Amino acid sequence: MIYKYLYQDRKNRNQEGEIRARSRDEAYTLLRKRGIRPYRVIGDDPWNWRPLAISIGYVLLSSALVVLGIIALSQARELKELQRERAWLESE
CB-based burial label for 38 (10 Å; 0-12, 13-18, 19+): buried
pLDDT digits (tens, 9 = 90+) for 4-44: 999 998 898 999 999 999 889 999 999 999 999 999 999 88
Query: Which neighbouring-strand residues pair with 13?
Result: none
Supply the pLDDT for residue 54.
95
pTM higher than 0.85: no
CB-based burial label for 4 (10 Å; 0-12, 13-18, 19+): middle
Supply the pLDDT for residue 63.
97
